[in-house]
Structure 1
């Protein structure tokens, strides 16, 4: 086992000199997937005496004939990786052996030596939890919301990370977390065009914020911000916001899917729908509720919005309609 693909050539030559009578096969991440499968399946079936590979084999493989593993430069692997790797040997009826090779101790950081010693100490079956606990002690629990966070928060953004964390905590506390988004199958999906907002990261941030808006007031404020920052909305942005309004209405009405075409509008209702479809003039067919009415593309968003608002009013009796907007 080697940490890098570039380590394989020199080590392959050395192994062939040391054990010229044994057949060597190789596997690494730059090989085509079909070739990797062929090598691994063949090795499991007895083709080859030595498998020289990178850590692509660290999980999910069951080679019962493999009983010895030598990890070259073990100090370049993480503790979790080494624990996974040693689980690839000894899966048959013969005891597995793992040999970790490193540089002289003087060339290895103290933290790395502690990790290797941890692996040597916890060498029994089921030691994964103890290894994880020791790794937590050595590396620390991390900084979930601070500037030093190096994990998911920097990847997805502070606000979204906190939003997901809040939802997870509410679920743990047993609160009802209503996470679903209506599916709209109608017209153009809309967009924030690059010609209007050139910066890709700014557009991405705005898309994320738009997806998380929960009421009409927040959506109106979002639109006002767009107008103030970037000027008049192009047609694609108008369409995007119109769909956002429809999603809010559909969610309030407990409508899971809207299909709208030139001849009719079809609504798929959720199980918790409590409105009166008769007041909206809908007829049921094949599990969906239909409004048979011909519409032009320019009028369809407005008609669907009015229909959803009728369902909201029929279901609550007191909810004020959301602001309508023709696209």
Structure 2
């Protein structure tokens, strides 16, 4: 995606330790007393104004020595300001509050927050509330207080588990992406505020959204035909080359998106720089990317290999044109074009790499091109015809 994520935390900043626990007077007492013993302050978030004073009374009973204040939106502006300032000036130890403190509160001495009925909050709300603590170089704690887990919905379970998992500094974007999938992105072109992105996946949703916007603008949409290729070869990234599974998946994703030879060459150079010389399987995988790109240029629907026989099925029976067909038949005596747009011919090679190279060159020949310069893509529209002639390529 075309975005940049800030992941570097401020100097000496520590990640907030997040725990999910059932509502328990013993846990509340322990958490508050631990923070007070090290000279800190505590937020207790209870988002029901009708019962917030009952919670404050409970905390007074649990921790009699604590100085406790209450803040919520129904207080007068002057009273609310006075309560918050007393907390800022450390005249209060515990601030029992609603989500009114979600934004704009920066109190370095407050390093413990307890959030009651955490399952009722959205991921964005919980992330913002957790951000009220841990704003200094001291380790901070966030307690998500919930009722018995058996009463929680599957979505609430996933939401709370995600907040606990993504507690590292700089993980805000990953939480935002998950929140987008859980709640839905809504209709960007209308008033609806929820959607079905979780049924599609974020990537496909973005592709469909981009396509819809282009259609509404009246732009011409060309269908991208990605050929199905089955050559019965070992094409993979070995674990001995890239051990981490997520890194391997990332490379597969980049390979699938590399629509030009320049992008493939860039990926090749990066792999060699980070992981060392390419093993044969990865070499073949990159060659398969070249074959896919060449096949897309002549609207190939599928490529199959059966023994020494290659079958190429074109999306349009008139492709390739008559001139390129004649040229191909002249150099491949075994080739035959069927009326339905299918090409069959014999292709044998001493090894798999040579086979892939020959197949790539055959596809280029079918579109009247030759592969004479590995750094330049035959799909690079920025290259002028003069550039192509200068580099030895012919259309």
Instruction: Return the TM-score normalized by structure 1.
Output: 0.47
Using structure 2 for the length normalisation, give the TM-score: 0.39
